[in-house]
Amino acid sequence: MSGHAFAENQPDSFSFTSENEAKADGLIAKYPAGRQASAVIPLLDLAQRQHDNWLPRVAIEAVAKKLDMAPIRVLEVVTFYTMFNLKPVGKYFLQACTTTPCWLRGSDEMMKCIKDKLGLDNHGASEDGMFSLLEVECLGGCVNAPILQVNDDFYEDMDYDATAELLEALKQGKPPPVGSMKGRNMSESSAGATSLTSLRETEAAYVPRPPKPAAEAPAEAPRDGGDS
């Protein structure tokens, strides 16, 4: 979460666009009658995306009304998950994982670079509105740690230099391809594939075999009858 309290400047009203209203109705329809509260997380996400990636008080109240929930119950959900922001965030919302696997792989260097290049600490935001930083718990990409999430995208195998390269590209409005900043293929060993390597050599020459025809059903045995 981008802050521990509501933003000081709050809009007077919030309502879903007609397109998002239809999406919200579709999300609610996935759940049985009387269970519409189950759609609270996707509706909050929809509201947040509509409102520049943060949730004002009136958006939380609008979601509560649509789901027939007490506003405090919706606020409990918002403050539990770090994916929801109570304050404005930068155009590039940096979510830095510093949990044990990322820390062991050097997330301190990633955080140092963000501090050096942008002057940001946890919960900080740049004056130009381009960047904001949130230190988060496990992002679930431990095999390619350290991980830096930028908005919805994962950048992996981060170190000081890779972080500097990424930040510079973002400043220029040219985000690099998501994934490993070191050229790692998916989640292979950083040194390359170490097993099943023969599959790579034969992949190009592989021609799928046509499916076998369905086996014919065995002929039915004649039944005993008076005329047989």
Encoded tokens for 79: 């403050």
pLDDT per residue over 151-182, tens digit each?
A: 999 999 999 999 999 999 999 999 999 999 98
How does residue 194 score in pLDDT terms, banded at 50, 70 and 90? Answer: confident
Specify the pLDDT at position 109: 97
What is the average per-residue pLDDT within 94-112? 95
Question: pLDDT tens-digit profile of 2-22?
Answer: 556 888 899 999 999 999 999
Query: Could you tell me the pLDDT band of residue 190, with boundaries at 50, 70 and 90?
Result: confident
The answer to whether residue 197 sits within a structural domain is no
Counts for the chain of helices (H) and strands (E), in that order: 8, 5
Pair 135, 57 in one domain: no
Residue 155 lies in a domain: yes
User: What pTM, to 2 d.p., does this model score?
Assistant: 0.75
Whether 40 and 101 map to the same domain: the answer is no
Residue 228 pLDDT: 46
Question: Does pLDDT of 101 surpass 50?
Answer: yes
Q: For residue 99, what is the domain's CATH number? A: 3.40.30.10
pLDDT band at 185 (very low <50, low <70, confident <90, very high): confident
Q: Which residue has the higher pLDDT, 137 or 195?
A: 137
213 in a domain, yes or no? no
Q: Are residues 101 and 67 in the same domain?
A: no
Q: Among residues of the chain, what percentage have pLDDT more than 70?
A: 85
Q: Characterize the bridge pairing of strands 131-136 and 92-97.
A: parallel
In this structure, the answer to whether residues 47 and 113 fall within a common structural domain is no
Per the structure, the complete domain to which residue 29 belongs is given by: 18-80
Distance between CA atoms of residues 200 and 195, nearest Å: 10
The per-residue pLDDT for 207 is 54
CA angle 47, 51, 54 (to 5 degrees): 85
Distances (CA, A) of 41 to 20, 65, 83: 14, 14, 10
